[in-house]
Amino acid sequence: MTPVIALVGRPNVGKSTLFNQMTRSRDALVADFPGLTRDRKYGEGNYQGQRFIVIDTGGLTGDEVGLDAEMARQSMQAVEEADIVLFLVDGRAGLTAADEMIAEHLRRSGKQAHLVVNKTDGQDPNVAAADFFKLGFESTFLIAAAHNRGVRSLLETLLPQPETPEEEDRAERYPGIRIGVVGRPNVGKSTLVNRLLGEERVVVYDMPGTTRDSIYIPYERQGQEYTLIDTAGVRRRKNVREVVEKFSIIKTLQAIQDAHVVILVIDAREGLVDQDLHLIGFVLDAGRSLVIAVNKWDGMAPEDRARVKEQVQRRLDFIDYADKHYISALHGSGVGLLYESVEACYASAMAKWPTNRLTAILQDAVSQHQPPMVHGRRIKLRYAHQGGSNPPVIVVHGNQTESLPGAYKRYLENTFRKVLNVTGSPIRFEFKSSENPFAGKVDRLTPRQRVKKDSNLKKGRPERKARQKSVKR
């Protein structure tokens, strides 16, 4: 289970700064005045292979009215959702009545809470934290979030140890090809799952939010084992208010990680919206194969169908390698073709290619279109080999690869995709440059060269470069 960490405290104590440090992002707004953060903000972090979720909250003062009262309610809600609560205080301002009020509330909540003394830079950390020991927290951490000081030790102490591989990857308990069905609420995900299974396996109702948990369903079809994952719908963050729905979204994102192939269901009656593009971004970031299923295609007028097709073609041009199907999950039209696309995506994601073939493709691509020159020298790409699967990872070795422009990387990706016939799956490239064997080595002078150099310096003669002789070390 992914741990959830909530950050609470008075305004302007550094909660958003710590949020950005833990997630290694700039997602939270940071400014030197109180009350900037109003809503709960969720972010995902990763420390040494351990994933966790961080919740940034608005500041608490104890005398909130109006908008501040709503912000306080949001912060208290985050405390209820979290597994670990970090209570941030200002080491420069010292202990205040608001801090004591928040500490009392955390004790009553029964949550695992830890005291974090921030802004300890420029002063003795123990002196800065002296006033806060009277709050009675068992564990106290001294950090400076603005300088990322003490954050690593904080995460090492709080995060659980990685589980054994058998327990870590729960998805391995499910055989065959794992197919995740994702989309917005009420687009027909559960109906599609029932249609793929051929039975009423999951509850279907004409109301958004019927499915709350991710349902793993193993089955067999024509001798091939599959596992269908029915997920909860993911709405825009501003529309998510219920605690259960937040956890449902977390489970959906975990299901995307577990799946081999993801089927994104789009409502043809509403068209392609921005939230669908956000979900595609989640899938691509996870490196999973993608199949687009435009549902509720039955009963639409020809002009509406043409409009939706044009919209899908135009807005999804960046994933032109993904198969697109126009289906009706309720009546079953076009659903059977999804299996063909799923199997092709799985074969592409799990394919193994020999090094000599990848190197030959690389050399052909370079001969047709050479890399650009950097500082008067041509970038050299020497050979390629496979570095992983699901998604396929191709490692390219050469010189000055860190200077390779993005356009040329996309050219290589398209070339490899076309030659290797990769369908539906993204291809990730890793570029590695050869190390300079002479980097960091200092030329050594022979005794005669050293005497001559000193003599020239004394007489004011210009120094001339002498031939260096190799000296055994």
Was 57 annotated as part of a binding site?
Answer: yes
At 422, is the secondary structure helix, strand, or coil?
A: coil
Was 170 annotated as part of a binding site?
Answer: no
Was 16 annotated as part of a binding site?
Answer: yes
At 3, is the secondary structure helix, strand, or coil?
A: coil
Was 414 annotated as part of a binding site?
Answer: no
Q: What are the CA-CA distances from residue 371 to residues 351, 359, 366 (Å)?
A: 27, 16, 7
Was 424 annotated as part of a binding site?
Answer: no
At 218, is the secondary structure helix, strand, or coil?
A: strand
Was 13 annotated as part of a binding site?
Answer: yes
Residues in the chain: 473
Across 270-344, the runs of DSSP E, i.e. the strands, are: 289-295, 323-326
Was 184 annotated as part of a binding site?
Answer: yes
Was 190 annotated as part of a binding site?
Answer: yes
Q: What does the block give as tokens for 393?
A: 């990872």
At 104, is the secondary structure helix, strand, or coil?
A: helix
Cα–Cα distance between 255 and 8 in angstroms, integer? 29
Cα–Cα distance between 121 and 91 in angstroms, integer? 9
CA angle centred on 391, ends 386 and 394, rounded to 5°: 25
Was 118 annotated as part of a binding site?
Answer: yes
CA nearest neighbour of 236 among 269, 189, 278, 265: 278
Was 185 annotated as part of a binding site?
Answer: yes
Which ranges of 239-336 would DSSP assign to H, the alpha helix? 243-258, 274-286, 302-315
Was 362 annotated as part of a binding site?
Answer: no
Rg of the Cα atoms in the chain: 29
Residue 268: alpha-carbon gap to chain centroid: 28
Cα–Cα distance between 118 and 138 in angstroms, integer? 17
Cα–Cα distance between 470 and 447 in angstroms, integer? 13
Q: What are the CA-CA distances from residue 136 to residues 114, 126, 132, 434, 446 (Å)?
A: 10, 16, 8, 55, 68
Was 274 annotated as part of a binding site?
Answer: no
CA angle centred on 138, ends 59 and 22, rounded to 5°: 50
Q: Is 371 exposed, middle or buried (0-12, 13-18, 19+ CB in 10 A)?
A: buried
Peptide bond into 34 cis (omega under 30): no
Was 59 annotated as part of a binding site?
Answer: yes
Was 56 annotated as part of a binding site?
Answer: yes
Was 234 annotated as part of a binding site?
Answer: yes
Was 11 annotated as part of a binding site?
Answer: yes
Was 232 annotated as part of a binding site?
Answer: yes
Was 10 annotated as part of a binding site?
Answer: yes
At 408, is the secondary structure helix, strand, or coil?
A: helix
Was 399 annotated as part of a binding site?
Answer: no
Binding-site residue ranges: 9-16, 56-60, 118-121, 183-190, 230-234, 295-298
Q: Which residues are annotated as a binding site for GTP?
A: 9-16, 56-60, 118-121, 183-190, 230-234, 295-298
